Amino acid sequence: MTLALIVGCGDLPALVAGAVDTPPLICGYEGLSVEGIIPDLTFRLETLGSLLLELGNRGITQVCFVGALERPALDPSKLDAETAPLVPLFMEALQSGDDGALRVIVELFEKTGFEVLAAHEIAPNLLAQGGVYGSEWPDAQMRKDAEVAANHILEMSPKDIGQACVVAAGRVVAMEDVRGTDAMLGDLRKVKDGILFKGPKAKQTRKVDLPTVGPETMVAAHAAGLRGVVVDAGDVLVLHPEKCAERADALGLVFWARTGA
């Protein structure tokens, strides 16, 4: 075994773990419930230095960050000796936006000698395939709204705040923030004929935190009154694509992975 998964919440860790022949080492954040798999060891931000040593001692050469994890607070009282020298690095990460913080952590693992793999490098079938999932197709307005949404995500990229937005009739009506997509949709009043769009920020690292949708995304979009979910093909992870298509059809939603962006 040479691969370790640094796992967070959701279905993604189990899907990635199931895509390899040799079971990877599962590293879970202390106190975090992981779905579908049992962590082999746990860690916290204050013991990350010790985790790096342990991975090396176990012969790990590759790591992959999978699953959602809220940005932790640093508790100085829980720092161990191996992690204390990393505090300035952590403070830089915690004060950065999401992508900036992730870059710092990825660079730390790479400088320590580990190859950082993206989830889709291990499980390429998770990447959105271009085309329509299900039976409902996008009309001309939805295609225009998708273009508006994609451009908005790119324009907002320097602020490093989100990978999703809602567009209706050519107008951006909501933008994802650090609370995530579900919170954005939960705050919406019913939006007639709107779409949820998800795509990566400009110059975002593809090794961690690619935008993700799953069956529950369809439910949340429908509850917000939207008529479609649109993603960028090849740049978004789709969990349980068949279930997504079935759920979209049952709710009368369009689920489209657009190409040529």
Dist CA 140 CA 142 (whole Å): 5
Q: Does one domain contain both 88 and 153?
A: no
* Residue 115 Cα distances to 3, 43, 145, angstroms: 9, 20, 38
Kindly report the average pLDDT of the chain as a whole number.
90
Q: Does one domain contain both 226 and 190?
A: yes
Q: Does one domain contain both 67 and 131?
A: no
Give me the torsion for CA of 161, 157, 223, 142, rounded to 10°. 170
Q: Does one domain contain both 142 and 95?
A: no
pLDDT at 193: 85
Q: Does one domain contain both 131 and 254?
A: yes
Question: Element (H or E) spanning 57, and its range?
Answer: helix 48-57
pLDDT at 97: 59
**Could you say which of 60, 93, 122 is where a domain stops?**
122
Dist CA 240 CA 261 (whole Å): 24
Predicted confidence (pLDDT) per residue in 34-57, tens digit: 888 999 999 988 899 999 999 999
Q: Does one domain contain both 117 and 137?
A: no
**Could you say which of 74, 89, 122 is where a domain stops?**
122
pLDDT at 1: 64
Instruction: Give the chain's domain count.
Output: 2
Mean pLDDT calculated for residue range 143-161: 91
Q: Does one domain contain both 58 and 93?
A: yes
Residues spanned by the domain of 61: 3-122
Q: Does one domain contain both 106 and 64?
A: yes
Q: Does one domain contain both 205 and 133?
A: yes
Q: Does one domain contain both 145 and 177?
A: yes
Token duo for residue 109:
């693992």
Q: Does one domain contain both 101 and 198?
A: no
Q: CB neighbours of 57 closer than 8 A, spacing ≥ 6?
A: none
Mean pLDDT calculated for residue range 251-255: 97
Mean pLDDT calculated for residue range 20-47: 91
Token duo for residue 98:
């999401």
Question: Element (H or E) spanning 175, and its range?
Answer: strand 171-175
pLDDT at 31: 83
**Could you say which of 100, 122, 144 is where a domain stops?**
122
- Concatenated DSSP letters of 115-148: EEEPHHHH-GGGBPPSEEESS----HHHHHHHHH
Asked if pLDDT for residue 118 goes beyond 60, the answer is: yes
Radius of gyration of the chain (CA): 19
Asked if pLDDT for residue 248 goes beyond 80, the answer is: yes
Dist CA 114 CA 92 (whole Å): 21
pLDDT at 52: 95
Tell me, what CATH number does 136's domain have? 3.40.140.80
Q: Does one domain contain both 10 and 115?
A: yes
Mean pLDDT calculated for residue range 137-142: 96
**What is the pTM for the complete model shown?**
0.89
Mean pLDDT calculated for residue range 183-209: 85
pLDDT at 107: 86
Predicted confidence (pLDDT) per residue in 64-104, tens digit: 999 887 777 778 888 888 888 888 877 776 666 555 667 77
Provide the b/e sequence for 236-258 (b: ≥16 CB within 10 Å). Answer: bbbbbbeebbebbbebebbbbbb
